[in-house]
Structure formats: structure tokens, C-alpha cells
Amino acid sequence: MTSHIQSFGFRGKRRVSIQEPLFLYVEWGDVNPDNNEEIRDIIEEIDLDLYPTDSSKSIKKNFPFLTFQQAESLFGKLKNNFDNFTFKGIALVTQVSNNNLISGKVVFGEGPRISPFVLDDEYKNIPLALIYATRRDPRFGHYSFDDLTKYFCTMEPNLMDCYKHSLGLSVTELPIYPPNNTIEGELDREGVKGVSGVEQSSTTNYASSVGPGSNGNSELWYKFLTALFAIISVIAIGLGILNYNHAQKQEEKLEYLYQQQTFTKKVQDNEHAIDVVARYFVTYYFTGNKDAIVPFLSGGDAKFTQPTKAQVASTILEKISLNEDGETYLVTYVVGIRTESGTLSSERISFEMKADDNAKFKWVVKSEPIREPFSSTTEKNN
């Protein structure tokens, strides 16, 4: 590694032993391993942790190129040990491949980059940092929102997939791709690559190349060109509307996926706490003691809940889902109930829950439980 800082980036081709299709190019700033022992110790610690028996994959070996896993490990430790640590810059790079074989030759192109790159409280992760910077970068001003979404999320290779594989993440653990016009300072991409603009340009070129007719009948040519322009304008408007509708549908689809991913993450973050409180509520509900369930009930319809007395043999969580309001969770259990004669039956009990910091258990039941025989509902679904 070297502390010699040139203008950000490099020329020509360099080789690297990294076997991932996308990774980072990183340049140190004024504070670097050559003049800071703490940074050297951090790198040693990461290399020992990630590659205890294979130094060929280490940060030392491949720098200034880092895998996403190496970079996040380094950035995380630098962020914890320094205030506003600054790099000369980072850039998303790939390497030349022939017949799907990675050659190891890295080319510093004109892709996403951040220079200078600052690790501060606003930094969350590599994908969001690069996406934010790219959608603010005038170099990418001629790309539509849909173009950039495909670039980062669906084309091969893309940043999201490569980041997921490098860090071993699940889909729900990935950062959520920001919808259009949600990033402070991002460029306005309305009308970028509009169909009508392209069509109008071709129409103008055609008119200027043809010119008035060789027969001298300028009036006839004028009428012909006027009619032609009118037809092309109608077609252009129609194509523009179709293109706009397609873009709207794409954005709506992305926003839907964004919402679903957000909901899934919220359920994962809260399902354990909800399950613990909900199980206690179900247990007390079947004791028949109204006083026992009062601490679990919110003020609305739930306060009218009347418990029932039964011998519970088992309580199995069926599902926890988030309602459209993004705050209320629907909780469903399958409860095994044993009668006095020893007969065992099953029923499904469902109710809504919501977080409440003022409640005794931090979660409250928002609706009266709905009970139904488990076997009959199963048959209906089949």
C-alpha cells in the first residue's frame, strides 16, 4: 500500500486476484497506513479475521482494490475509530472477462464514484452511497430513473447482486433501492430520453434534407410537409404517452417492491417481540380471567374482549403480517384445546397488535380476537 496521492483514479490496466465481477477501487487520503499505526492494526485484524490461512486474498495483497466484504469491514472499523474519516475517493470497478472467464485486468472507467469519500454519521453502506452519488452526478444526467434502476439492480453484473453475494446476505437484508425523487440533491430525471424529442429531431433532419420539390411547386411541398409533420407529431405524442405510461408502471412496480421489502424487514425486526407478548396474551385469554388480560389491551375495540376458559395443550404461531398502515400487525396462532373428556381440538385465533411505549409490555392488542375451527378453515383453503 502507498500513501502517494495522485488525482483520483488510474490509467491503463491493473491486475487483481479478486474473483468477484464488481468490487471497489479505493484511494487513501491524508491519513493512511503509512502514517497511522492504528489503521495498520485495523487492516491486520481484518485480514486475520477474514483470511487466517490465505494471505493472497487479504487487503494488503489486493489494495487499492477491495471486495465489498473487505470494504465494509474496513469502513466499519474506521468509522468506529475515527471521526469523519476521509478517503481520496472510491469507485465501482469491474474486470475484463472473456467467455465468462475473469481475466483479472481491471479498467478504471467512467462508472459510479465518490471523491472525496467521507465516512460519517450519514454513511450507511456501499450500495446506498454509490446510488446516492450517481443520482446526483451530472455525468449520469442523461440516464432515466428506469435506466439507473436496471443498472444497479437487474443487469448482469449489478451492484445489488454482487454486494449480496460478497457479504453473504439474504434478499431481505439488502439495502432498499431508493424510489425516484427521494434523494436530497438528486437530478430531475423527468422527461429524460423522451420519445417526442427524438422523433422531432428526425423530422427536422428529414425536412431540411428533402427541401422544396424540384418541380418548383413550393405550395404543394409545403402542404405535404405540413401533413407529414402533423402525422409524425401525432405518432410521437402517442409513443410519448405509451412511454410515459410504461415508465409510470415501472415506477409503481418498484415502489410496490420497495414497500413489500420494507414491510418484510419490519416484520423480521419485530416478530420475536410480538410473539413473546402475544403468547402471554393467548395464555391468559384462555384462563377466563378478564383482569389478567387487561394489561395487554389497548383502548379501542380490544377493551371489550371477553376471555374464555379452556385447557390449552399447545400454541403454534401460524403467521405475523404487517397491515397496510405499516404500524399494525396481524398475529395468528393455532391453539390446541383439550376438553374435560380429554378430546383434543384445534382452532385458529387471530388479533391485531401495535407497538406502544407506554404499555406495560410495549405491545398492545388492538382488536378483539377472532376464533374459528382450524380444520374447517384449512378445508376452505384447499
Claim: this prediction has a pTM higher than 0.75: no
pLDDT at 9: 73
Q: Alpha-carbon distance 140 to 148, whole Å?
A: 9
CB of 183 within 8 A of CB of 132? yes
Query: Using alpha carbons only, what angle is made at residue 322 by residues 320 and 326, rounded to the nearest 5 degrees?
Result: 155
3-class DSSP state of 19:
coil
pLDDT at 144: 87
What class has domain 271-381?
Answer: alpha beta
Question: Domain residues of the chain, as ranges?
Answer: 13-173, 196-261, 271-381
Which one-letter amino acid corresponds to residue 164?
K
Q: Alpha-carbon distance 294 to 365, whole Å?
A: 10
pLDDT at 75: 94
Give one word for 227, left, alpha or beta, with left for phi > 0 and alpha for psi -120 to 50.
Answer: alpha
Helix, strand, coil percentages in the chain from 3-state DSSP, rounded to 5: 45, 20, 35
pLDDT at 203: 32
Q: Alpha-carbon distance 93 to 134, whole Å?
A: 14
Distances (CA, A) of 106 to 17, 99, 155, 158, 199: 10, 16, 19, 16, 39
pLDDT at 154: 85
3-class DSSP state of 298:
coil
Cα–Cα nearest to 183, from 132, 124, 240? 132
pLDDT at 52: 83
pLDDT at 5: 36
Distances (CA, A) of 293 to 135, 196, 338, 347: 52, 65, 21, 20
Q: Alpha-carbon distance 363 to 365, whole Å?
A: 7
Q: Which residues of the chain have pLDDT under 70?
A: 1-7, 10-14, 96-104, 190-230, 232-234, 236-260, 375-382
